[in-house]
Amino acid sequence: MTRTPNPTRPSTGFPIWAVAFALLCAGIGPVASPALYAQTNGTLLGRVINASTSNGVVGVEVRLDGGRRIATSDSTGEYRIRAVPAGTHSLGVVWPGYRAARRDDIVVRSDEVTRVDIRLAPVAVQLSDLRAVGVQDPVLDPFATATSQRIDEQDFRRLPVSTLEDALSLQAGVVGESYRGGRIGQQAFLLDGFGLKNQLDASTGAVGIRIPPDLITEASLITNGFSARYGQALSGLINVVTRDGGERWRGRVAYETDRPVSGTADLGLDRVVLQGDGPIAGRVTAVGIIDLTGRLDADPVNAPRPDDPLDPRSDRPAPLPHNSAETWTVGGKLTIPVGEKVVGRIFGITTADQRYLYDQQYKYDTDFAPGSRTNGKLLTGHLQLLPSQTSRHPILGDLRVGWFDREFSRGTVDAPDYRVGAFTGRRLEILGEDIARAQDTVAARKAIDGFAQPQLSARTPWGVPAFFVGGASQGEIAWNSFSELRSQLDLTLGMGRNTDVFVGGLVASQDVKTFQRVLAYRPVGGIVPPATASAFSPTISAAYIEGQTRSDELAVVAGVRYDAFSPGGDLGNETLVSRSSINPRIAVSTVLKGATLVASVGRFAQAPDLQFLVDAAFDDTTRTGRFRQGNPNLGFEKATQFEFSTRFRVQEQSSLKINLYMKSLDGLVATAPLGVNPDSSRFVNGDVGNVSGLEVIFERERHNGWGARLAGVVQKAEATVTDAFELQRLIQ
């Protein structure tokens, strides 16, 4: 049951020390976004070889990036450098009796092993500088058991994309925000090892944080075989690694537009980017960015030009009227080395996104259509313990603390007043937002000042059809706030040259507030439901253990993850209990006749949207009616995924990947009618589904100035309900 918050009730927000920490970090750099799991580092290993004898050289110091990290070769000449940040690096060796050697442009990817063997020439022997022999091919690497597609910082420059979402849409298996047939909200977003998810309304609302491409070192989409370190996802993981500041100052100023093009290709885009990074004191580096984006058509729809000259789209079929958006993003990151074994990072970003929303009912009076505003803030602190490269059993530790805040408002707004392109230069005001923020359900019982009853439109070419309205808004007020304070510890234990063990866990304290009122120009009663409000404090926790080992050309990754969530006792339900789920996962891979074969199976679970736990009122009857009853006893949504894949080299610069997968889902959240009332519903864990498909990805790596990727997917997805707000139970 949903309760009305007591105005005298103490705040359920975060303790004073957390707020003080956030303010302190905000003074150093702009605020940022929330947390979960993900590796942001890779591993570099190889063998130091005497070029004359082909024997291993013992005790050689291998220097990474000019000596920032140093590893020493063992009795067989092998070296290993763990926790190497994803990106491009250099290796150098200066050793008595041998010629100095160096190799630049070594690409290290997160969660992967890169092998570079080093041939050293004795002083008396003429040999070119450092060469890599037997470099581990990432296509054939058996340790790469997850199905992933990667985009690096160079790809963002080369591809015609303006956002991370644009780049992800080019990957196989992606349709909009659906990954391998999954519903929106069944994916998790990982930022520098932190899991970021809008747990309140992930199936209907965006995360709230936008990561500018100029801040990204690497982004990868993982659609199956993801390890026990990752949770809160059924269909995919988006793993983003942001850049650290460089050793010297550099910057970029850019303006991007699509105004010169025409037709549906012209979305009215204007984008301005200011980015810079470099050292600020000693080894402390910083990176900062300002990204301003405006689109006159923020949600483009392909439709033919209307024949009727009175139709507002007859002159310009694109963009849609009253459909613009402006997004302001400011972010920054500090990298602070503390001695030789500890590195600290502070990352912050804030995004303000406001939109005018096209509404078909207001097709001929577009200025009365609604608008929305979403503000997101993320602030994270990361303390990393680097392993001793000389230890036989090194330990790598990552302690992360993050604060995430997302606020959403939707309702009646003034008509657009654009200054430049889609930019208004002012904050979008929502009528009645003061009542919503106060969660004042008593004051909301009466008709709210400022609202007027809409009338049938007189601007249509057919007179006054009943569907089209104008003169005033529908009287909707929707507001919610979601905050999370999360702590996460991840440890990597080296058990030898070819074996690692990962252990860790997290605990997250959340604070949720919601308010909704419909038909605000009329008092409550009759067909007008009362305003709904809720305030509660859920918690999420998880723990995992996983091991990976490799013997010759065989690799095994196996682990188990424990997930739990509690909706919070504030919901006032006596039967309310915490939910938990145990999810095992295993993947086996081997190299056979020049091809890598991978088989994986895993069980995955994610907590439902918190919006499904509480009562709510909606203005749009297609979203389950004007009133919807929450269910605080909802459990986990779950999936079991199987996959068999093969990867091989077609030629030296080209590869082919074939992935065959099947996913079985159960306990999906769905709506069911309450009795015989067609205008209300309740949520249950009653639906099931399955997804099966085949992906074929051919890629030619960039060589001699050009590269290409061709992907094809054949997929079948079925579920009793694929939209959490679909009232009727249909096979789709």
Question: 567 in the Ramachandran plot: left (φ > 0), alpha (ψ -120 to 50) or beta?
Answer: alpha
List the one residue out of 41, 99, 86, 93 whose CA is nearest residue 71.
93
Least confident of 103-107, 624-628, 635-639: 624-628
pTM recorded for the entire structure? 0.83
pLDDT-derived band of residue 181, with 50, 70 and 90 as boundaries?
confident
Predicted pLDDT at 324: 93
**Whether the predicted pLDDT of 287 surpasses 70:** yes
pLDDT for residue 22: 36
- Which residues neighbour 434 within 8 Å (Cβ) at sequence distance 6 or greater? none
**Structure confidence by residue, pLDDT tens digits, 58-96:** 888 888 887 777 888 887 888 888 778 877 788 888 788
Asked if the model's pLDDT at residue 729 lies above 50, the reply is no
Exposed / middle / buried, residue 45 (Cβ in 10 Å: 0-12, 13-18, 19+) = buried
Tell me: pLDDT of 19 over 50.
no
Read off the pLDDT of each residue in 547-561 and give the average, rounded to a whole number. Answer: 88
Higher-confidence residue of 12 and 441: namely 441
The secondary structure element, H or E, covering residue 19 is helix 16-28
- The answer to whether residue 28 scores a pLDDT higher than 90 is no
Of the candidates 597, 609, 636, 616, the residue with the CA atom closest to the CA atom of residue 681: 616
Determine which of 330-334, 598-602, 622-626 has the lowest per-residue pLDDT on average: 622-626
Question: Which stretch, 200-209, 348-357, 519-528, 642-651, has highest mean pLDDT?
Answer: 348-357
What pLDDT is recorded for position 304?
67
Task: Identify whether the C-beta of residue 475 lies closer than 8 Å to the C-beta of residue 431.
Answer: no
**Rounded Cα gap, residues 605 and 665, in angstroms:** 10
Confidence of residue 458 (pLDDT cuts 50, 70, 90): confident
Those residues whose C-beta lies under 8 Å from the C-beta of residue 290, and which sit 6 or more positions away, are: 272, 273, 274, 275, 329, 330
**DSSP sequence for 313-378:** TSS--SSPTT--EEEEEEEEEEEEEETTTEEEEEEEEEEEEEEE---GGGTT-GGGS-EEEEEEEE
What single letter denotes the amino acid at residue 673? P
Question: What pLDDT, in 10s, does the model give residues 230-250?
Answer: 888 998 889 899 988 888 999
Please give the Cα distance from 428 to 413 (Å, whole number): 7
Average pLDDT over residues 121-128: 63
Structure token digits, residue 325: 């958006």
User: β-strands 174-175, 147-152: how paired?
Assistant: unpaired
Q: Token pair for residue 643? A: 């996959």
Q: What share of the chain has pLDDT > 90, as a percent?
A: 38
pLDDT value of residue 487: 95
pLDDT at 140: 76
User: What's the pLDDT score for residue 704?
Assistant: 84
Q: How confident is the model at residue 2 (pLDDT cuts 50, 70, 90)?
A: very low
Does residue 461 register a pLDDT over 80?
no
* pLDDT at site 576: 66
Q: Record the tokens describing residue 112, joined without a space.
A: 């992967």
Q: What is the pLDDT of residues 247-276, one digit of tens each?
A: 899 999 999 998 887 666 677 889 999 999
Mean pLDDT of the chain: 82
Identify the helix (H) or strand (E) that includes residue 166: helix 164-168
How many contiguous H segments (helices) and E segments (strands) does the chain have? 4, 38
pLDDT, residue 224, reads 79
Average pLDDT over residues 176-182: 85
Residue 719 banded pLDDT, cuts 50, 70, 90:
confident
Q: 211 vs 312, which has greater pLDDT?
A: 211
Percent share of the chain, pLDDT over 70: 84
Q: Report the pLDDT value the prediction gives residue 333, as an integer from 0 to 100.
A: 96
> Nearest-5° angle of CA 473, CA 407, CA 335?
145
The set of residues, in sequence order, having a beta carbon less than 8 Å from that of 446 and lying 6+ positions away, is 523, 524
CB 326 within 8 Å of CB 423: yes
Which pLDDT does position 438 carry in this prediction? 95
